[in-house]
A and B are shown apart, each in its own frame.
Chain A
Amino acid sequence: MKIIIIGAGEVGYNIASRLASENKRVIVIDKDQDAIRHLSESLDIQVITASGSNPKVLIDAGIKETDILLAVTDSDETNLVACLMANLISPTTKKLVRLRNNDFYPYHNRFKKENPHIDTIINPETEVVNTIRKLMDVPGAIDVGDFADGQVKYIGIRLDSYSPVAGMRLIDFSPKFGDDRPLIAAIIRDDEVIVPRGNNKIESGDLLYFVCETQKLEQTLKLFGIIIQPIQSALIIGGGRIGERLAKILEKDSIKTKIIESDLDRCHYLSEQMDKTVVLHGDGSDQKLFLEENVGQSDVVVSITDDDETNILVSLLAKNLGVQNTITRIEKSSYFPLLATIGIEKVVSPRLSAVSSILQDIRKGKVLSDISIFGERGEFIEAIALETSDITDRPLKKLHFPKGAILVCIIRDGQIIIPSGDSVIKPGDRIILFALKQAVKKLEKLLTVKLDYF
């Protein structure tokens, strides 16, 4: 299995690292010597310092015997040309492309059918905008995502001390809430991921991951003492592509939106594009501007400039001014472990979400999604139960689930089934599992699926 990745940025690095650790033959092409050296020193891959859209470079890299080409540079043009050339040289290679500019969107289907025959187009920024929108509405949630085509959601929330469930044991959930009880997949306490059992207690300050049907989200959150209040006003710092798209969506939802952008030309462009949104020209970390604009009164502050440090600073500043709900864009994965200690928890990362959508897209077989949480310490796995595996057609209590793994729920014909000891998984069911990193391997064995790629 040979994979060529064009672009050694955050996206390229993270994908290469995942694939190399799964013993794939990976070649990374990038023009930037420093980025390339960093990669070649820390990963077992081959590197080429050159332009990935250059046909000669692609031939030298062995595109003809390559299974997948991932064009994930920050430049849409480079990515497209690389695919175009790859399509001419080696039509059988699968091509995945990251395209960020929205203006290409109407042509995505034609790109797939006509030249350059791209197999998958990934636009993580659209996804990120959607994630930000979801996060805005759920004040306590720090992570939101979809399973089963959006029918089921997973949510990560930080538990307040006045939450009604604080101090409860999981075993007491069932008598109290009946079938509406939340399906808790993981408890994160003091930097430790706990796969819960019946007698685990929930404490205030815990970070809980749970799964629920999308329709019942509001109801379930209420159990935790979180009431969804539609936001009235939002402040966006950073008027880049994500900022622009988010502002447009918010405008549509009649939310009072302000957007701060430091580049004057960009401000002019934004104000041409928007009707109601207030476009402010200024620096995101300017405290005076914050006070002037009464930032403390905003329901939510979203800092999504291109600069991680500015974003962190802005969020801290906003928190200081009394804004509870802040959403921060962070790209450097090395920052994630530090964030909880400074109180920044709602984080979005277009690049990392690109990584997970690309990995999901090229995963083979019966694993539908595989989402890492909490710095890759644990994983949500959505899979289809295979007839050949040991987990089907027998009650759960007779199964030997690996330590550190839990079956969160079963989805059969669009219905969520809360698993109990007597539940039986039928072949073809979708199952959602949660596992600590060290238990993933054993879980794969149990499911008789490999987290492999095509």
Chain B
Amino acid sequence: MNALILVLLGALLALFVWAYNAVVARKNQVENAFGAVEAQLKRRRDLIPSLVEAVRQYMAHERDLLERLTRLREWAERTQGEEHLKAEGELSRVLGQVWARLEAYPDLKASGNFLQLQAALTEIEDSIAAARRYYNQAVTEYNNALEQIPFAPIARAMGLARKPVFTVPEEERAAPDLGELFRR
């Protein structure tokens, strides 16, 4: 009888340890995924001064846009949390506008330096998208754990709260004109 009680207590303890470790692992995974997104965003911010420098002489008429890009980069560097995410979102939007305007400057597209920068930024944007998917996956697992048994009571005791996933801004949801892009 004693052995039975001991085995049951051992099983309960093992269940608690497993559930606690699972909650901690999911919390850390979210932090790790956020770090991965942040690392890619930092790479992009680091490239912006070189981009502005490379296009400035060609895009003299877009000075306002380039200055806005520089200011947004500084804002994103300075801020944290919600405000930082907002700054990064705005930075993405303005970068998109810069890419769209580039079509009007064929000389720029012939510059080797610019083409290298463009390739690097495209690769970074790709990595940002992948890192965001990783973050969203990690947050979904974490949020599920907060509502599932046996994790929920442990998460509540640890004071953990739901986290938001990355969503695509309204203006980016419109489907791109693939035909037009592939005719370029």
A and B form one complex? no
Interface residues of B (CB under 8 A from A): none
